[in-house]
């Protein structure tokens, strides 16, 4: 029910609200030192009512940052491919799920994320401890577990609306905190 509440609030945003949020998030994210010095960033293409990522993806790509984007596999794990601009995306309809924009080029394997200096994670909310509430599919829980097993320590950042930073979200044993959340009004760090 908590997830449904956040999704309902997002669905009420106007197109103007979404454009303003996307621009503000990109501007704040580009000022973040972890992204400013990153050579490789694992990110995602926002879908539906998610806070927009396209402006940020393009800005990172223009800066010469290697941007990795996920490709959903049948088991809900994520493969990765390089982002080479808007023309490098294809719409993939996954059975029983929403259509996603994914990289059109070569698949680099699930371990490609290990090369990232920063990982942008989708979410519905983050709490005061840095715990992230995702959509419940477990794809990014697998990414975080893969990073931990490999001893990789990229900056973990979530892009959200201001109202999605809350006191507490439910936590499961496999959940891992993020390092920062970016909202249109600012950056909040954890750890």
DSSP result, the chain: -HHHHHHHHHHT--HHHHHHHHHHHHHHHHHSHHHHS-SEEE-----TTSPP-HHHHHHHHHHT-EEEEEEE-TTS-EEEEE--SGGGEEEEE-TTS-EEEEE-S----GGGGGG-SEEEE--SEEETT-BEE--SS-HHHHHHHHHHHHT---EEEEE--GGGEES-----TT--B-SEEEETTEEEE--
Question: Domain span at residue 51?
Answer: 2-189
* Nearest of 68, 78, 190, 53 to residue 141 by alpha carbon: 78
**pTM confidence score:** 0.94
Q: Which two tokens stand for residue 173?
A: 């044993």
8 Å CB contact between 81 and 69: yes
Q: Which domain CATH number covers 145? A: 3.40.50.10420
pLDDT at 139: 93
What does each of the 191 residues of the chain score in pLDDT, given as a tens digit?
888 889 999 999 999 999 999 999 999 999 999 999 999 999 999 988 899 999 999 999 999 999 999 999 999 999 999 999 988 999 998 877 778 999 999 999 999 999 999 999 999 999 999 999 988 788 999 999 999 999 999 999 999 999 999 999 988 888 899 999 999 999 999 97
Instruction: Count up the domains in the chain and report the number.
Output: 1
pLDDT of 125 reads 96
Q: Which two tokens stand for residue 184?
A: 């249109």
pLDDT of residue 48: 85
What pLDDT score was predicted for residue 174? Answer: 84
pLDDT of residue 172: 87
């Amino acid at each position: 029910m908590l997830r449904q509440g956040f999704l309902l609030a997002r669905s009420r945003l106007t197109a103007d609200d979404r454009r303003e949020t996307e621009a503000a998030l990109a501007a704040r994210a580009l000022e973040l030192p972890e992204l400013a010095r990153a050579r490789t960033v694992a990110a995602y293409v926002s879908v539906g009512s998610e806070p927009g990522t396209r402006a940020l993806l393009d800005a990172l790509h223009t800066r010469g940052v290697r941007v990795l984007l996920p490709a959903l596999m049948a088991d809900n794990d994520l493969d990765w491919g390089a982002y080479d601009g808007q023309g490098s995306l294809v719409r993939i309809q996954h059975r029983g799920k929403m259509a996603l924009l994914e990289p059109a080029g070569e698949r680099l394997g699930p371990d490609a994320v290990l090369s990232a200096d920063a990982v942008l994670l989708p979410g519905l909310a983050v709490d005061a401890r840095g715990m992230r509430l995702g959509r419940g599919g477990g794809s990014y829980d697998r990414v975080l577990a893969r990073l931990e097993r490999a001893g990789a320590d990229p900056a973990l950042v979530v892009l959200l609306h201001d109202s999605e930073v809350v006191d507490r979200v439910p936590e499961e044993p496999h959940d891992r905190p993020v390092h920062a959340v970016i909202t249109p009004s600012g950056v909040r760090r954890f750890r």
